[in-house]
Structure 1
Amino acid sequence: MKNLSLVFRSLALPVLLLTLNAAGAQEKQPLRYVDAATLTVIGKSMPTPKLFQRVDTARYELWQPVKNYSAFSTGLAVVFRTDSRTIRARWKTGGYGLGHNMTAIARKGLDLYIERDGQWAYAGFGWPKGDNHDSALVEYMDEGEKTCLVYLPLWDEVLSLELGIDGDSRIEAVPNPFRHRIVVLGSSITHGASAGRPGMTWTARLARRMGLDFLNLGYSGQCKLQPEFARMLAEMDADAFVFDAFSNPSAGEIEERLDAFVATVRKAHPSTPLIFIQTEVRETVNFNLRARKFESDKRAAAEAGVRRLMKDDRNIYFIDSRGMIGTDHLGTVDGSHPSDQGFMYMTRHLEPQLRKIFRKYGIR
């Protein structure tokens, strides 16, 4: 009996080694890389000379840092279908530094979601290293085709992007999974500060939840109802405009600029809904009396201005922001910019109100 056991062991060992070698060969097969430009790039508000930027900077008289921000890949994503068990990426960014209130992944990294049972499920991220990046997004997946969505960096320019897949697998472009065109102009809150990953901004979250194409035109610290922004929007195709336009300007700037800003956009888009979101109630005002007065004044000016315009224009809307980033003091990173939890509160606050407005215009 002892000898028979030894025979079985001697036979089983080669089989086990063959199995392990086959698994290892499958895991270690060489990857092939494809240029992401051959796939579907979504989130763009207009054609641009460089594919991975959101606004053509040569078309408008932009100032710094708006010109730089326009070349960022904020809100852009690549959509494709593949049967690969591995997804890897190589990408180059433009050399912008890291900030004090954001993760490196949000600023320069990638964020992968895969469609599962009709929902977008988080699948992995691209870890940035300097400005020449090479990172696995996900490995060891099940076999079968998957529809993938890779969000690009929020706070840098993407100079090139290649996606790596198993050498014997397929990859192909697929149509934009999101419907309509919702153009969002806003502050750093829209730009994505301080989301943990590129796909965690409020615009990206609402796109995945609502199936609508939210185009992110967030300009950190620079969105002050300037006429150049109005002229830019006037030239864009949109089913609706959403504005996070009251976070950056003072009360005086709102009173001085709001009417002309709306008039320029309205002339080009006579009946398109213009939806203004009141700026959040910042945590920075909890004890700072000077900040409290500044924020209170501009909130009052914003609401008074929009509600006055609403009397003569039934396609203008105002969304109150009370409670928008929660009331538990966990909604921001620095008192102003939402944490991922704050962005969750924000999407829950905005989604039902936006759905109600959009339904009036057949946007669903």
Structure 2
Amino acid sequence: MRKSITLVIAFVFFLCGALQAYAQTFSWHDPMLETSSVINGRAWEGEIGSSYARLPERFQQRVPLKVWNLSRNAAGLSVKFSTNTRNLQIKYTIADAPQLPNMSKLNQAGIDLYATNASGHTHWIGNHMQWNWGDTITFTFRNLEVKNGVYELILPPYSTVTSLKVGCDEGASFRFMPSRKDKPVVVYGSSIVQGASPSRPGLIWTNILKRLTGYNIVNLGFSGSCLMEPALFDAISEIDAKCFIIDPIPNSYRLTDKEITERIRYGVLSIRKKSKAPIIVSESYPQADIVFNPRAEERMRTANKALQAAVNQLQKEGVAGLYYQFSKDIPFTEDAMIEASHPNDIGCVAYAKAYEKMLKTIFRK
């Protein structure tokens, strides 16, 4: 019996030593130590600098406090790199935050990984539950067979990333790819834009849209806080964009019809003073559970009408390049939401396809 215990103890020490040795074979690469930016999805690259935030410091006193705090979250941000490594480990830390009840932990605080092979095909890479959710979070991807692949690491949408490193096998080639410089599609909206509530970050609808279209996407979703304040539109109008998407009603339905009209007018006209890029204004999502609960979102549907009337008036006044997306154009099914307020994976695909269709129509003209 004593001999068996001794053998077990010896095996445990051997295993621990082997795992420690394996962990020490990684060489580490920090995106923030690069001489030029490698962070995709940020509109103010030159100002934001060495952080995984979405608004520059000069907006702190201009925008609402909640918007400012949410802008520290890494929604829509990603890092691309090329490597021939067989094993990858992502090691990062995030600021403390409560776990949200309508959000999977994997989506709120996890990362996601995609890779493009030599044939130009992009594929998702699963983690197979090789993670550690400690003070320092690690996601490990083993035995990869992508030779000289280009990887895209998608950051957590509802977390403030305070540090991040990418580990690859010692001796493997590695380089970060420069951040995209092409004009982005800028999406301003609510929690649904920020990333609630698919199962993982790659399935946020803005990230799906990026893969479907190939466009550079800037995610300016602010959970519970898309109220079309003039300060937000002043900020957004600074961006040299390919297209602007304004998706406000899931939060702005709380405003009066008069406020909705005034704020969307201010926003559209502010953008149009500085940019000729197309502007898409979107209604809220369709109500998925309307059959047995037909009055649950009557105020939201009324707000949609106020929004539509305001856009129609702007079009009549000659505002060019202004488009409107109706609720019915988002192809929801009854299985598209998690609690009738936020889309799940199915709903996020529906959102992305609706916007893909509209963008194709706009840029085909």
- 1:178 Cα deviation from its structure 2 partner: 8.4
Structure 2 match to 1:122? 124
The 3 A distance-change label for structure 1 pair 217 and 276 is: same
User: Quick check: 1:109–1:127 contact (8 Å CA) kept in 2?
Assistant: no
Distance (Å, rounded) in 2 between the aligned partners of 1:134 and 1:160: 12
Structure 2 match to 1:254? 260
Q: Does the residue aligned with 1:135 lie in a helix, a strand or coil? A: strand
Structure 1 match to 2:71? 70
Tell me, yes or no, if structure 1 residue 307 matches structure 2 residue 312.
Answer: yes
Q: Does the residue aligned with 1:338 lie in a helix, a strand or coil? A: coil
Between 1:342-351 and 1:153-162, the stretch displaced more is 342-351
Between 1:300-309 and 1:288-297, the stretch displaced more is 288-297
1:173-200 deviations in Å (ceiling 9; x for gaps): 2244685311110111111100211111
Structure 1 match to 2:10? none
Matches within 5 A, 1:262-277: 262-269=268-275, 271-277=276-282
The correspondence for 1:183, drawn from 186, 191, 197, is 186
- 1:32 Cα deviation from its structure 2 partner: 1.1
- 1:338 Cα deviation from its structure 2 partner: 0.6
- 1:118 Cα deviation from its structure 2 partner: 2.1
- 1:322 Cα deviation from its structure 2 partner: 0.7
User: Quick check: 1:187–1:223 contact (8 Å CA) kept in 2?
Assistant: yes
- In structure 2, give the amino acid aligned to 1:133: I
Structure 2 match to 1:36? 31
Between 1:38-47 and 1:278-287, the stretch displaced more is 278-287
Between 1:243-252 and 1:203-212, the stretch displaced more is 243-252
1:67-96 deviations in Å (ceiling 9; x for gaps): 111111110000000000011011010111
Matches within 5 A, 1:1-364: 30-37=25-32, 38=34, 40-47=38-45, 48-60=48-60, 61-116=62-117, 117-125=119-127, 127=131, 129-136=133-140, 138-142=141-145, 144-176=147-179, 179-250=182-253, 251-252=256-257, 253-269=259-275, 271-283=276-288, 285-288=290-293, 290-311=295-316, 312-322=318-328, 324-327=330-333, 329-360=334-365
- In structure 2, give the amino acid aligned to 1:124: G
- 1:208 Cα deviation from its structure 2 partner: 1.1
Which structure 1 segments of 5+ residues have no match? 1-23
Q: Does the residue aligned with 2:355 lie in a helix, a strand or coil? A: helix
1:147-177 deviations in Å (ceiling 9; x for gaps): 0000001001111100110011010122446
The 3 A distance-change label for structure 1 pair 320 and 166 is: same
- 1:267 Cα deviation from its structure 2 partner: 1.6
- In structure 1, give the amino acid aligned to 2:65: Q
- 1:296 Cα deviation from its structure 2 partner: 1.8
User: Quick check: 1:104–1:128 contact (8 Å CA) kept in 2?
Assistant: no
User: Quick check: 1:187–1:218 contact (8 Å CA) kept in 2?
Assistant: yes
Q: Does the residue aligned with 1:90 lie in a helix, a strand or coil? A: strand
User: Quick check: 2:264–2:310 contact (8 Å CA) kept in 1?
Assistant: yes
Distance (Å, rounded) in 2 between the aligned partners of 1:185 and 1:224: 10
Distance (Å, rounded) in 2 between the aligned partners of 1:51 and 1:119: 30
Which structure 2 segments of 5+ residues have no match? 1-18
Between 1:227-236 and 1:171-180, the stretch displaced more is 171-180
TM-score between both structures, scaled by the size of structure 1: 0.85
The 3 A distance-change label for structure 1 pair 64 and 275 is: same
TM-score between both structures, scaled by the size of structure 2: 0.85
Q: Does the residue aligned with 2:219 lie in a helix, a strand or coil? A: strand
Distance (Å, rounded) in 2 between the aligned partners of 1:258 and 1:274: 11
- In structure 1, give the amino acid aligned to 2:137: H
Q: Does the residue aligned with 2:150 lie in a helix, a strand or coil? A: strand
The 3 A distance-change label for structure 1 pair 59 and 121 is: same
The 3 A distance-change label for structure 1 pair 245 and 323 is: same
Distance (Å, rounded) in 1 between the aligned partners of 2:51 and 2:29: 15
1:14-41 deviations in Å (ceiling 9; x for gaps): xxxxxxxxxx9x9787111111223721
Distance (Å, rounded) in 1 between the aligned partners of 2:132 and 2:300: 36
Count matched residues.
333
Distance (Å, rounded) in 1 between the aligned partners of 2:233 and 2:213: 26
> What is the root-mean-square deviation of aligned Cα atoms in Å?
2.2
